[in-house]
Chain A
């Protein structure tokens, strides 16, 4: 089974693909996959604060809400979680891919990755590489 960082990298590659290859067509998938890039890194950060690994969204959100050390991560993650939920369960959710890229990927996921670096120990470089690839994909999509 892949580790949490490997999962984040795998989801990150899927996100870059969506943004670069078909970004204009798939705003809801961008919202959803962006959240799933964040989840393994959020779980790592929670564990590194001495809290048990979350078993589901409720545990994860509860841990973020209750742990002041994770405020930075919660500030970025909560809007992504809400957007992902609306994308999946609210059929009339609107917004363009450009909105999703600006508001959620650049506006929330990148700051979350920066916060996650603080909890990454020796794997800081891998999070930097993940962040760089996502930033490059966003730049390419927004400038095209």
Chain B
């Protein structure tokens, strides 16, 4: 008989790395593992792992609904406010998420203001409150490797937005 504790631990280890979340794809997510291997998980399993990492107490369906709304809100925000996007990630930590955006532009006070507004918008929107804590970070002409170091050191999971181009 298998040991469920070991199974959970093994699943966590396997999920260290970048999850490429394809917007609009409800079936699978692609997990980029630390050894450059790639695994494909179904969305239900991904949501389960996220729910565990985020220490969410609500039901699976409720959390999934909130998370999808949050991701949809962020994807819409990226499309509307971020035309020069180089990369966008959500770093997932217990009960917290950090939204990291790398843009192909010089430092912009206006863009910083948009991020600040987004923080308030997410945290004050009861429908999308999938996490207890949400913060943002912008990099301007950021180096992807250095950004990976910045966001991925201890995070159990990082979602990478890979928006479908219209």
Contact = CB atoms under 8 A, between A and B. Distances in A.
Interface stretch (A4-12, A73-81, A113-121): A73-81
Interface string B140-157: 001100110110000000
B116 A99 contact: no
A29 to B, nearest CB: 18
- Find the residue from B120, B138, B143 having the highest chain A CB count within 10 A: B120
A40 interface: no
A61 B137 CA distance: 13
Given A74-B120, A78-B116, A82-B112, A62 B132 contact: yes
A75 B113 contact: yes
Interface string B110-152: 0011011001101110000000111111110011001101100
Contacts of A61: 119, 133, 135
Interface residues of B, number: 26
A107 B110 CA distance: 12
A59 to B, nearest CB: 9
B124 A78 contact: no
A130 to B, nearest CB: 23
A82 B114 CA distance: 13
B109 A90 contact: no
Contact of B137 (A66, A85, A95, A107): A85
Contacts, number: 57
B77 interface: no
B107 A82 contact: no
Contacts of A58: 96, 133
Contact of A71 (B120, B134, B138): B120
Contacts of B142: 90, 92
A82 to B, nearest CB: 6
B100 to A, nearest CB: 10
A82 B138 contact: yes
A79 B111 CA distance: 10
A79 B124 CA distance: 19
Contact of A78 (B115, B132, B139, B143): B115
Given A65-B134, A75-B113, A78-B112, A90 B139 contact: yes
A95 B136 CA distance: 20
Interface of A: 58, 61-62, 65-66, 71, 74-75, 78-79, 82, 85-86, 89-92, 95, 99, 103, 107
Interface of B: 96, 107, 109, 112-113, 115-116, 119-120, 122-124, 132-139, 142-143, 146-147, 149-150
Nearest 4 pairs between A and B by C-beta? A65-B123, A79-B112, A78-B116, A92-B146
8 contacts: A62-B133, A74-B120, A75-B116, A79-B116, A82-B138, A91-B146, A92-B143, A103-B107
